[in-house]
Amino acid sequence: MPRLFLPAVLITLLAAGCADTDTVDAPAPADEGAETGALPHDVHSHARPAEARVTHVALDLTADFAAQTLAGTATLSIETAPDAEEIVLDTRGLVIERVTDADGNALTYDEGNPDPLLGAPLIVAFPAGTERIVVHYRTGEDAAAVQWLGPVQTSSGQPFLFTQGQAILTRTWIPTQDSPGIRQTYEAIITVPEGLTAVMSAEGNTPDGQPAPDGAGTLFHFQMDEPIPPYLIALAIGDLEFRELGPRSGVWAEPQVIEAAANEFVDVEAMMTAAENLYGPYRWGRYDLLVLPPSFPFGGMENPRLTFATPTILAGDRSLVSLVAHELAHSWSGNLVTNATWDDFWLNEGFTSYFENRIMEAISGPEYAAMLESLSRADLVGDLADMDEADQHLHLNLEGRDPDDGMTAIAYDKGAAFLFTLEEAVGRARFDAFLRDYFDAHAFQPMTTERFVAYMDRELFADDPELRAQVDPEAWIYGPGLPENAAPAESEAFARVEAQAEAFASGTAPTALATDGWTTHEWLHFLQALPADLSTDQMAALDEAFGFTETGNSEIRFAWLRTAIRHRYEPAFASLEAFLTEQGRRKFILPLYTDLAATDWGRPMAERIYREARPGYHAITSGSVDAVLGAPADA
């Protein structure tokens, strides 16, 4: 337990204690923490911020591609309670060489027992009045945030490095307090091999650095002056080119990809304008994208000023750019107003999924947005079918679990459905004004579910208890399933698609179906709407008519490959193997291996492909697949 200091600290600790007892997942009584500014306890961090907290991180790191290490120093500015004597940092697998004060005097420190998930606390003792501590360190062998790619894994044939901090992996490359409620500004000096470019989620991204003082490599400077949760500190190094998209937006990618990327993302500036018209000014200066090599484990990651994105959204026809709308929306929901703990993850992703839909409606029209909403609803309904009831609450209890377990359709799709339902209840104009004020009033602050509910009650329902009862937020937030009052998610375009799927089921040849002008989303819905049992002839006829096996659209290919596994449709298996080997996006990889592993014939095939492909995956993807197939003995 932290020691007690002043009354103010006492209040903080008591408030944290309240949150601690909130393990029955019942609504908390009041607007917890809002008055005192107290942070709720984060079960995924060792930090004790009421005692001493990090406010700024200054990195000086060298990327050594041969040794596969980031090595150097992290200078942490700290704020301490009056008689605090130590600070607790999060680390996982870091090699700590020494810790000093800003003048280089050694400080004593202790590395606690490592927890496999949370890592080890690094407890640094300091004399009264210490404002900065310097940790000399390098990353260890299993730095899970970091992926080092060799020349064969990139399109440039040059090495590449990228980091992925969310949810609790920043501690595998930076010793800091790795909790989303502990916001920190940062700056960095990154030294890279000559010829490569470093970019970060910060100001300072330029194609050319300056020669390192000792002549070894190139040096890049970065600075993030807004306090951000540490999971948003991100670095990438590679053979990178930049292309402008608009006055405050652009895209980075390897030279072989930059053209396709710039073409795919032409609408970014329009998305920014649409987002600002909805919920207020964009507060981060620039919005750039970085297209990563195909092993990037996510579709996108909302690193501030520089969204990281998978190349699998480069469909060539801009049909998958709602992902950009999503990551851009996080510039408000997530990056400005941040889930205080991972139990509140829906505040990041549910709000963002709703906001994403609104941006797409603004730039592509209501029918397009309705298709997206309908697909989201189908994902939710599908996932609910085999999910524990306790995991179906918007507010989660992830104590003792990997926060990644919270990355389900609940946070995203049920979260968005709740906001659509609120919108329907209070009317769009009021709901938009409410959200705009919410982002503004809580900018750069952590947000808990309880605090959101208190704010909503005050701003939306103070005069209308009946309307509140009708919405029944508790059923959404603390109850399972999709509540019956959910706003409907219907699409007329999809009704037409369903009619074609039915026609096919009753014998119409695929070539005779009315599919002209279908967008990616209509094709995806068509694949969903097909009968569960198709004959090999039917599969072959579909494939011949529509070229699903060979499609360059990753979402359609993924949906088709799942159908192919379900029907053991062998003509698609070469494509399946290529898809599992050529990219590492977990959303695609994990279900395909899982589907294969569920069959007698597929399991050996999955194991064979995985043995080959695993070394190319990021640790986030291989960690998830290991849980299904087991880690190969020689891994």
Known catalytic residues are: 327, 412
Which residue number, 32 or 349, has a Cβ lying nearer to Zn ion? 349
378 beta partners: none
Q: Which two tokens stand for residue 71?
A: 């090595």
Of 563-592, which residues contact ligand BES (CB under 6 A)?
Answer: 587
Q: Which two tokens stand for residue 463?
A: 């005069």
Of 324-353, which residues contact Zn ion (CB under 5 A)?
Answer: 349, 352
Q: Are strands 337-339 and 445-447 parallel, antiparallel or unpaired?
A: parallel
What string marks each residue from 155 to 174 as x (binds ligand BES by CB under 6 A) or -? Answer: -----------xx-------
Hey, what's the torsion of the CAs at 387, 393, 397, 400, to 10 degrees? 10
> ∠ at Cα 200 (316, 586), nearest 5°?
50
Query: Is 300 an interacting residue with respect to ligand BES (CB under 6 A)?
Result: yes
What string marks each residue from 350 to 369 as x (binds Zn ion by CB under 5 A) or -? Answer: --x-----------------
Which residue number, 349 or 423, has a Cβ lying nearer to Zn ion? 349
Residue 335's binding partner among ligand BES, Zn ion, none (Cβ under 5 to 8 angstroms by kind) is: none
Question: Helix or strand or coil: residue 229?
Answer: coil
Q: Which two tokens stand for residue 578?
A: 């290529």
The minimum distance between CB 588 and ligand BES, in angstroms, equals 9
Question: By rule CB under 5 A, what count of residues binds Zn ion?
Answer: 2
DSSP for 155-208, written as a single string: SSSS-EEEE--TTTTGGGT--B---TTS-EEEEEEEEE-TT-EEEESSB---S-
What string marks each residue from 1 to 40 as x (binds ligand BES by CB under 6 A) or -? Answer: ----------------------------------------
Among 241, 254, 264, 327, binds ligand BES (CB under 6 A): 327
Q: How many other C-beta atoms can be found within 10 angstroms of the C-beta atom of residue 389? A: 10
Residue 298's binding partner among ligand BES, Zn ion, none (Cβ under 5 to 8 angstroms by kind) is: ligand BES
Segment interacting with ligand BES, rule: CB under 6 A, options 62-70, 299-307, 516-524, 548-556: 299-307
Give the C-alpha separation, 49 to 51, whole Å: 5
Amino acid (1-letter code) at residue 464 = D
Which residue number, 191 or 352, has a Cβ lying nearer to Zn ion? 352
What string marks each residue from 173 to 212 as x (binds ligand BES by CB under 6 A) or -? Answer: ----------------------------------------
Which residue number, 48 or 585, has a Cβ lying nearer to ligand BES? 585
Query: Is 344 an interacting residue with respect to ligand BES (CB under 6 A)?
Result: no
The minimum distance between CB 427 and ligand BES, in angstroms, equals 27
Q: Which residue has the tokens 């000559």?
A: 194
Which residue number, 178 or 349, has a Cβ lying nearer to Zn ion? 349
Question: What burial class does residue 372 get, using C-beta atoms within 10 Å of its C-beta: 0-12 exposed, 13-18 middle, 19+ buried?
Answer: buried
Query: Is 326 an interacting residue with respect to ligand BES (CB under 6 A)?
Result: yes
Residue 165's binding partner among ligand BES, Zn ion, none (Cβ under 5 to 8 angstroms by kind) is: none
The minimum distance between CB 330 and ligand BES, in angstroms, equals 6
- Ramachandran angles phi, psi of 401, nearest 5°: -120, 165
Segment interacting with ligand BES, rule: CB under 6 A, options 73-81, 240-248, 319-327, 368-376: 319-327
Give the C-alpha separation, 440 to 427, whole Å: 20
What string marks each residue from 392 to 411 as x (binds ligand BES by CB under 6 A) or -? Answer: ------------x--x----
Residue 323's binding partner among Zn ion, ligand BES, none (Cβ under 5 to 8 angstroms by kind) is: ligand BES
Which residue number, 109 or 418, has a Cβ lying nearer to Zn ion? 418
Question: What burial class does residue 167 get, using C-beta atoms within 10 Å of its C-beta: 0-12 exposed, 13-18 middle, 19+ buried?
Answer: buried
Which residue number, 346 or 569, has a Cβ lying nearer to ligand BES? 346
Which residue number, 51 or 404, has a Cβ lying nearer to ligand BES? 404
DSSP collapsed to 3 states, 551-571: CCCHHHHHHHHHHHHHCCCHH
Among 42, 254, 302, 543, binds ligand BES (CB under 6 A): 302
The minimum distance between CB 62 and ligand BES, in angstroms, equals 27
Q: How many other C-beta atoms can be found within 10 angstroms of the C-beta atom of residue 483? A: 17
Residue 424 neighbours by CB under 8 Å, 6+ apart? 487
Hey, what's the torsion of the CAs at 251, 252, 253, 259, to 10 degrees? 40
Long-range contacts of 262-266 (CB under 8 A, 24+ apart): 263/316, 264/313, 264/314, 264/315, 264/316, 264/318, 264/321, 265/289, 265/321, 265/324, 266/318
The minimum distance between CB 353 and Zn ion, in angstroms, equals 7
Residue 250's binding partner among ligand BES, Zn ion, none (Cβ under 5 to 8 angstroms by kind) is: none
Rounded to whole angstroms, the maximal C-alpha distance in the chain is 81
Hey, what's the torsion of the CAs at 316, 317, 320, 326, to 10 degrees? 100
The site for ligand BES (CB under 6 A) is made up of 166-167, 298-302, 323, 326-327, 330, 349, 404, 407, 412, 587
The site for Zn ion (CB under 5 A) is made up of 349, 352
